Structure 1
Amino acid sequence: MDAYLLLITLLAIIIVILGVSWFKWHAFISLMVAALFLAIFSGMGWDKIVGSYETGVGAVLGHLVGILALGTILGKMLAESGAGLQIANFFIRAFGEKKLPWAMFFSGFIIGIPVFFEVGILILLPLVISIQKASKQNILLVGLPAIAGLSITHGLVPPHPGAIAAIGIYGANLGKVLLYSLIIAIPSGIIGGPLFAWMINKRVVPTGEPTLVKIDDQANKKSIPSVGISFLSILMPVILMILGTAAPYLHLSAGAQKVLAFIGSPVIALLISCFLAFYFLGFRHGMDRNLIKKLVEECIIPVGSIILIIGAGGGFKQILIDSGVAKVIASMSQDLNISPLVLAFLIAGLIRIATGSATVALTTAAGIVAPIVAGMSGVNLELLVIATGAGSLMFSHVNDAGFWMVKEYLGLSLEETFKTWTVLETILSFVAFIGALIVNMFV
């Protein structure tokens, strides 16, 4: 039965790939058909299939739909006002074209610490597209390092939810996890970001163009925002989210902490940032209400496609979980007689491949491994958190919302996304795991 479930899962993933590439179905249709195929042939009850699918769609879109819409609006304002190009020109002047991948990696890494991966993409990709337009370089050379910086912090570094959950499950020390994760994440991100981008941009030249955030020529604009206002506009969501995260440690009243936590939530931070952008990037530079309304409508329409894709990916993921695939992988891995760090890495990686969610993989693997290591001596629990986080980044593919976000926002084909994003995630995963093993030799 276990082998049968794994075979059906493999066939479902093949359906997604063939649907998009061979039959030319929209990814939403391919994912939905694959999810229904898996549900039916795995033996799920007919009365449970639709409910499971809808639960998965609602779970992922409940968190993402507002963030996607508001982040795209903010990106549009940065692009249309000329703020994106201002920042692009600043980086080009400050670092030079040869150092841009490094600048983008550290930007992604720093921004990625306080924000979710999806929010970081929406903040950084308008900047990536602006820099690509100004520098005329392959978009992969500037885009992949930024995404690598975001991804490695999402998988390893607290306060991201997966890392925090694993710390609680294992009983690890948060401060040590933060220290070790930074030591391991930076070199891992450099290898998976700037170095990989430098290598792959010579082999893969995207045939499409980004469609969700279009950068128009700003050269003839009479009034464009200053560099300071441009940076403030793009960093405002980050500033608000940092305030929200830091609220419990600022020794404020309970009411003030709740207010800061509210405005620091991603969707509220982006909403506030959009209104500030309407004023500082719009009204102050000659845009009227009708033009701003037109810009918002222009960028909202294409978001519908990516929302459908991500929602269908969420439904596919939930079917994978409810059909028992994650449990099958976990039970198979539990029987292996190997080091706890290796076990945690493999279980998290297999669950990540099956479900598509780094957070689900991290928390599920931690729940499986924690009882196994409870009676062992000499296990470094902090590095166990990092090894589990490294496994949760492995081999992102069609059931991962991040896969589709990167594909759509960078304008990549399915094949190009596998060659770039999937390989990048796998590099981050294995290099971070090797880093954890090396650190474990000295602590």
Structure 2
Amino acid sequence: MDLYLLTITFLAILIVILGVSWWKWHAFISLLVASLFLAIMSGMSLDKIVTAYETGVGGVLGHLVGILALGIILGQMMSESGAGMQVANFFVRLFGVKKLPWAMLLSGFIIGIPVFFEVGILIVLPLVISIHKTTKQNILLIALPVIAGLSIVHGLVPPHPGAIAAIQIYNANLGKVLLYSLIIALPAAIIAGPLFAKWVHKRVIPESEPELIRVNMTAKTLPSTGLSFFIILLPVLLMILSAVAPYLPLPKGFMKFFEFIGSPIIALLIACFAAFYFLGIRQGMSKKDIKKLTDQCLLPVGSIILIIGAGGGFKQILIDSGVGTTIGHMSQHLSLSPLVLAFMISGLIRIATGSATVALTTAAGIVSPIIEHMSGVNLELLVIATGAGSLMFSHVNDAGFWMVKEYLGLSMKETFKTWTVLETILSFTAFAGALLLNMFV
């Protein structure tokens, strides 16, 4: 039964890849057909298939749909007003073209700490595209370091949900996990970011340009560099404020207010209104121009929302059909060190379900009873090893795969060669870092 489940999972993933690249189906159709194939072949009852699929779609889009729309609007305002160009020119002047990948890594790493991976991508992407247009560099050289910084922080560093859940399950010390994860995350991001980008950008030259956010500057006067930075960092600052509010001596009402304005959708909405005024009206745009711009930039979002939603549906079918549990139990019988076991189970569940958070929490739930009677297990490094596994080999069942593909204008083949490899480098480098640190702490 276990082998049968793994075989049909492999075939379902093959349907997605062949559907998009060979049969030229839209990714939404490919993911939907693969979900139905897996659900039926795994023996899920027909009345549960549609419910599971809808739950998966709703689970992803419930959190993402507003963020995607507002992120695109903010990005378009940044590009149309010239604010993106101002920030791009500042980075080019400060670091020079040769050191840009390092500047981008730092941006992604810092922005990634308070925000979700998906939100971080939407904040930094207009900047990436502006720098790409300004410097005429291969977009991968600029985009991959940012993505590496955002992704490693999302997988390993608290307060991201997967890491927090694993800390609670293993009963680990949050402060130590934070310290160790930062020590391990930075070298991993350097290897998978600037170093990998410098190697791969000579070997993969994207065939098409990014289309979702077009950098066509229409403003006659440019906003100041300071104002441009303020608008792009405003949602990040609001999210940081929300994260630190519980630790400040504030009345309960104020604390709830800061937590509210720091939630991603409200922070991005506030940033959009700030952009409408400071980058639009103050720069000479009429209300009619701003409405037209908003309408235009929201049209292409429909496709990516469908794809990400279908990816969420596929992921839920994978979970409900029992594939994740099967892999976990198969790995449980191997006599390995807890760090290796946690990394392996988490990695296999990530490959099967496409969700880093699901992989982290499921693997922690499986490994936790195994280590209960063991002594000398470093619980903090166990959290990090589980987190490292949860980043492994992102492919067609992961929303992040489709976001990177669509936003950077890459083909399926190019996305596998860049994003999938980058995630796997992050995963194994972070795991090696955990093993190394385990020798000394």
Which bracket does the TM-score occupy, shorter chain normalised? over 0.9
Q: 1:152-167 counterparts in 2 under 5 A?
A: 152-167=152-167
Tell me the distance in 2 between the aligned counterparts of 1:24 and 1:339. 45
Match of 1:214 in 2: 214
Match of 2:61 in 1: 61
Tell me the distance in 1 between the aligned counterparts of 2:317 and 2:391. 20
Using the size of structure 2 for normalisation, the TM-score is: 0.99
Tell me the distance in 2 between the aligned counterparts of 1:255 and 1:371. 40
Q: 1:261-300 counterparts in 2 under 5 A?
A: 261-300=259-298
Match of 1:360 in 2: 358
Q: 1:190-209 counterparts in 2 under 5 A?
A: 190-209=190-209
What amino acid maps onto 1:313 in structure 2?
G
What amino acid maps onto 1:222 in structure 2?
K
Shift of 1:323: 0.5
Q: 1:35-434 counterparts in 2 under 5 A?
A: 35-217=35-217, 221-434=219-432
SS in 2 for 1:207: coil
What amino acid maps onto 1:394 in structure 2?
M
Tell me the distance in 2 between the aligned counterparts of 1:131 and 1:180. 33
What amino acid maps onto 2:40 in structure 1?
I
Tell me the distance in 2 between the aligned counterparts of 1:369 and 1:197. 35
Shift of 1:212: 1.0
- After superposition, the C-alpha distances for 1:325-379 in whole angstroms (9 at most, x for unaligned) are 0111010010010000000000000000000000000011011111111111000
**Contact 2:318/2:324, CA 8 A, preserved across alignment:** yes
What amino acid maps onto 2:275 in structure 1?
A
Tell me the distance in 1 between the aligned counterparts of 2:291 and 2:217. 20
Tell me the distance in 2 between the aligned counterparts of 1:83 and 1:51. 44
Tell me the distance in 1 between the aligned counterparts of 2:18 and 2:262. 41
**Contact 2:67/2:264, CA 8 A, preserved across alignment:** yes
- After superposition, the C-alpha distances for 1:159-198 in whole angstroms (9 at most, x for unaligned) are 0000001001101000000000000000000000000000
SS in 2 for 1:225: coil
- After superposition, the C-alpha distances for 1:306-329 in whole angstroms (9 at most, x for unaligned) are 000000000000000011101110
Shift of 1:216: 1.2
Tell me the distance in 1 between the aligned counterparts of 2:211 and 2:139. 13
**Contact 2:81/2:217, CA 8 A, preserved across alignment:** no
Tell me the distance in 1 between the aligned counterparts of 2:297 and 2:196. 31
SS in 1 for 2:360: helix
SS in 2 for 1:393: coil
List alignment gaps of at least 5 residues for structure 1: none
The aligned length equals: 441
SS in 1 for 2:300: helix
- After superposition, the C-alpha distances for 1:5-63 in whole angstroms (9 at most, x for unaligned) are 00000000000000000010000000000000000111100111111101100000000
Shift of 1:224: 1.0
Tell me the distance in 2 between the aligned counterparts of 1:365 and 1:327. 9
What amino acid maps onto 1:317 in structure 2?
K
Tell me the distance in 2 between the aligned counterparts of 1:236 and 1:408. 25
What amino acid maps onto 1:275 in structure 2?
F
Tell me the distance in 2 between the aligned counterparts of 1:10 and 1:154. 27
SS in 1 for 2:202: coil
- After superposition, the C-alpha distances for 1:129-154 in whole angstroms (9 at most, x for unaligned) are 00000000000000000000000000
What amino acid maps onto 2:149 in structure 1?
G
SS in 2 for 1:379: coil
- After superposition, the C-alpha distances for 1:78-120 in whole angstroms (9 at most, x for unaligned) are 0000000000000000000000000000000000000000000
What amino acid maps onto 1:408 in structure 2?
E
What amino acid maps onto 1:369 in structure 2?
V
Shift of 1:222: 2.9
**Contact 2:79/2:217, CA 8 A, preserved across alignment:** no
Tell me the distance in 1 between the aligned counterparts of 2:297 and 2:386. 38
Shift of 1:217: 4.4
List alignment gaps of at least 5 residues for structure 2: none
